[in-house]
Amino acid sequence: MRLPPRHRPTLRQLIFWAICCDLGLVCKRLIAPAANLLTDAMRIPGGIATSFSLLFIVIGCEVMPFHYCGTLMGITQGLIMMVLGHTGSMGPLAIIGYSFPGFIVDLLMRLPLVGKLKRAERMAIMNASAAACAAITANIIVFRLTGLTLILYSSTALTAGTICGWASSGIADRIDHYLNKNR
Amino acid sequence: MRKNRTLLICTAALLLLTCALTILHISASSEPVAGEILVRVGSRQYAIPYDSLAAEEVHGTIINGKGEESVINAPGIEIIALLSTINVDPSSIESVSVISADEYHAEIADHELMESEKAYLILWDNSCRLVVFGDSNSKRAVRDVVRIDTVSKAS
């Protein structure tokens, strides 16, 4: 399925965009305790809940008509968390940790090869790449893991991102119908 | 989630890879024993029970990233004193890495090791915790410390 052409967003789309930004942050906080049980058992730092929050950025980029949607969503999320004081170990660098995955999603959206893929495959690739990017960014800023631990940490992020991206394609199909039905 | 054979195969492959890496990682890392700290000096490693630590009362204040102060009032031991218990010359150490159960770690440089009343391991809630006084945030407040790795100075 080819991507729809980009155009000026409607109010309905912008409201949905804002909801996606908030849902991503809320879901991350909700899922984190359960996700950390898994990462504690694997003896790696937590953070796979980020893959779930990136799902909303990927949905937003898939159904929203404007460029740099992912980067803007990431920056918005980063600013919200900084204002709320929930930056965690990253501190002021959290803005980079939130915006860089969104930027990666935007980059992938621009690739012709990615645009030609089926929706499920495209969203799985975008979510997996964004999750891996978030994991590597967190490693550079905070954890500084090396060797096998880093490979395992990245692999976990890729796997969680792929599963979340695949799941998000079903959500995007339903939302797209209601959000863009007049286009 | 519609059926998609390619995605199914890729997801299954990633899951298998992650499981294999997890097994390798857990078998390669030393099993942390409750109530003990593992100290690695070069190729040697020492398991030090909490009970054997000559802990003294540690008093002080630490600050987190939001500027909030926390009072520390618990038994603990300076890192330099801990190394001395296993006959390690602190002046031969370039840096020390304090590692928690989930591999989160913090570095302590040699000059900080030598500084008096700076870096402590405190006994907190049946586990060990790193406290570095004077830090402007809590990045080095490693909880559930299981291992300390030392890096020796090049001779």
pLDDT tens profile B78-116 = 998 888 888 888 888 888 999 888 778 888 998 888 888
Beta partners for residue B96, in sequence order: B108, B150
Chain A, nearest residue to B68 by Cα: A85
B29: confidence class by pLDDT, cuts 50, 70, 90:
low
pLDDT tier at A160, thresholds 50, 70, 90: very high
| 8 A C-beta contact, residue B94 and residue B110 | yes
- Does B4 have pLDDT greater than 90? no
For the residues A126-147, what does the mean pLDDT come to?
88
Give A155's contacts in chain B (Cβ within 8 Å): 14, 17-18, 21
Give alpha helix (H) positions in chain B: 5-28, 79-85, 110-114
Contact A51, A164 (CB under 8 A): yes
The pTM of this model reads 0.75
- Alpha carbons A69 and A78: distance in angstroms, whole number: 14
ipTM over cut 0.85: no
Q: How far is B8 from chain A (nearest CA, A)?
A: 9
B65 contacts in chain A (CB < 8 Å): 87, 89, 91
Q: Which of A66-80, A118-132, B124-138 has the lowest mean pLDDT?
A: B124-138
Q: Is the CB of residue A64 less than 8 Å from the CB of residue A72? A: no
- pLDDT over threshold 50, residue A1: no
- For residue A90, the model assigns a pLDDT of 72
Q: Rg of chain B over CA atoms, in angstroms?
A: 19
pLDDT of the residue at A89 = 67
Please state whether beta strands B69-78 and B127-132 pair in parallel, antiparallel, or not at all (unpaired). Answer: unpaired
Cα radius of gyration (chain A): 16
Tell me the residues of chain A between 7 and 66 that have a Cβ less than 8 Å away from chain B. 39-40, 42-46
Burial class (CB in 10 A: 0-12, 13-18, 19+), B89: exposed
Taking alpha carbons only, the member of B95, B108, B94, B92 closest to residue B141 is B108
Q: Is B44 exposed, middle or buried (0-12, 13-18, 19+ CB in 10 A)?
A: exposed
- Averaged pLDDT, A157-178: 89
Tokens of B23: 């097994």
Q: Measure CB to CB from residue B21 to each of A142, A151, A169 and give the nearest one.
A: A151
- pLDDT over 90, % of chain B: 16
Residues of A numbered 64-123 whose beta carbons fall under 8 angstroms of chain B's beta carbons: which are they?
Answer: 85, 87, 89, 91, 118, 120-121
Nearest to B11 among A44, A142, A166 (CB): A166
CA A63, A69, A70, A72 torsion-angle sign: negative
User: What is the reported pLDDT for A124?
Assistant: 93
